[in-house]
A and B are shown apart, each in its own frame.
Chain A
Amino acid sequence: MGAVAGVIIVIFIIRMLSGSIKVPPIALAFGAKLGIFIFTIAMVQATTPEVASAVLHMVVFVLIWVPIPLLQSIVVPLRMPRAAYWTVRICWPLGLTKEIEASAVVYGALALARTSPSEAAISWLERKLRNAEPIQGAGVVAAGLLAEPVVGLVVPEPIVAALTFFTPVGERDLLAHALDKLIDRALADPRRSGWRVQVVRVHAELEHGASWLMEATLKDPSATRERIAAPLKTQLERSPPAGAVERFVVEFTAFAPGTTELQLFARDAAAAARTGRRRALQSAAREIALRIRRPMLYHIIEVQPWSRLPERRYALIDFEP
């Protein structure tokens, strides 16, 4: 009888390996676990005393039938991503059979998240994830856990004042005078209200297509023309433009909060913060489009908001940063 059963099992395995019998992965996993369990129990009972045998029974039972609580409460908190990955692959939880490779990467990434992640560990998990096909469910979660978060840069909106000369100007006195006027104009911009200037950039378009640039960072942010202009005039004296200037542009690119009294009058502080966040969102969206190479961000737009059919009221459109 045993020999007949053995022959039947061998034939079954051969047909399964050749593809003529399709066995669902979960059934295969269950069968393998049952076989290992029976074999291990037989070995334990044959060789060890009662107490140790009971403990080993418990360990074997947990590893084979309920490995997920073990993963969550012991393996993942150990903060060892490779150990977590291989524990899933070896223990082969029945609930994760469908996406076993991607699920193993998920647990590895969860273990990684509890420690300061190393590039080597992230690269190792990403290589394992590439073997997991198709990418769905656990694969998407794993890819999300491993991906570097995209953080948009909060860039303050610059304030620009520009002047185009009727005839190109080469005299430094005239350029210094124009600098003063442009700084006054930029300081008078309502968006500057409540803020002091920290970084100022001066850009000139010269004759014959050349250009000239200088930038100054103020040690003490200021909102007075003389203190902003002083370092710029010094640089203008030291390294003046190489030709006559056709267009002169002054740009305030970085700001610092004003004093308490000035901040009370910072009508645009909240608007400036919102604008900064909007620019950060746009830069993050651009970066996501570059990384993933297909649009994954959408706007919700109104199509027929008055329609009596709910599915015609709104639609999704690609988000264009």
Chain B
Amino acid sequence: MVPTPRAAVRADRLRTLNVPELVAVELGADGRPAAVRRSAGQSVSDSTVEAILENWRIDDEWWRQPIARRYYEVMLNGGAHVVLFEDLAAGGWFVQKP
């Protein structure tokens, strides 16, 4: 459940899920993610990447707003299973659920 926007809502109004969250990623010697730093408000959490399960690249919607991303499905220390991606068009690293 997400916080209500306090606006008039209709049954056909959709709210996005799994919105990517901006993070800081430290790359290893091989150029792959080695650590992730997330900040939520005043708290900051650092996690190391234990394993990279899969990686792929998406280049899409060239006719509209081009999307170019390199994805990594990773396991963090503590057992969290997340997807990291680097936005090659606008820059920046993001994290979201698989």
A residues with a Cβ closer than 8 A to B are 294-298, 300-301, 303, 308-311, 313-318, 320
Taking a contact as CB atoms under 8 Å apart, the answer to whether A311 and B96 are in contact is yes
Q: Which residue of chain B is the closest to A296 with respect to CB atoms? A: B4
Contact (Cβ within 8 A) B83 A310: yes
A318 touches B10 (CB 8 A): yes
**9 residue pairs, one from A and one from B, having the closest CB atoms:** A316-B15, A315-B14, A311-B18, A314-B17, A320-B11, A318-B11, A310-B18, A308-B58, A318-B9
Considering the complex, give the chain A residue whose CB is closest to the CB of B19: A311
Q: List 18 additional contacts besides A315-B16, A318-B11; criterion CB under 8 Å.
A: A294-B4, A294-B9, A295-B4, A298-B15, A310-B18, A310-B83, A310-B96, A310-B98, A311-B19, A311-B20, A311-B96, A314-B17, A316-B2, A316-B14, A316-B15, A317-B14, A317-B15, A318-B10
List the A side residues contacting B9 at CB < 8 Å.
294-295, 318
- CB atoms of A303 and B14 under 8 A apart: yes
Contacts from B to A (Cβ < 8 Å): 1-2, 4, 6, 9-20, 58, 60, 67, 83, 96-98
Query: Would you call A296 and B1 a contact (CB within 8 A)?
Result: yes
With A298-B1, A298-B2, A309-B67 as known contacts, state yes or no: A315 contacts B96, CB within 8 Å. no
Partner of A294, one of B6, B11, B12, B16: B6
Listed by A's residue number, 30 A-B pairs whose Cβ atoms lie within 8 Å are A294-B9, A295-B4, A296-B4, A297-B1, A300-B17, A308-B58, A308-B60, A309-B60, A309-B67, A310-B83, A310-B98, A311-B16, A311-B18, A311-B19, A313-B18, A314-B18, A315-B14, A315-B15, A316-B1, A316-B2, A316-B14, A316-B16, A316-B17, A317-B11, A317-B12, A317-B15, A318-B9, A318-B11, A318-B13, A320-B11
Task: Please give the distance in Å from A158's CB to the nearest CB on chain B.
Answer: 27
Interchain nearest-CB distance for A284 vs B (Å):
14
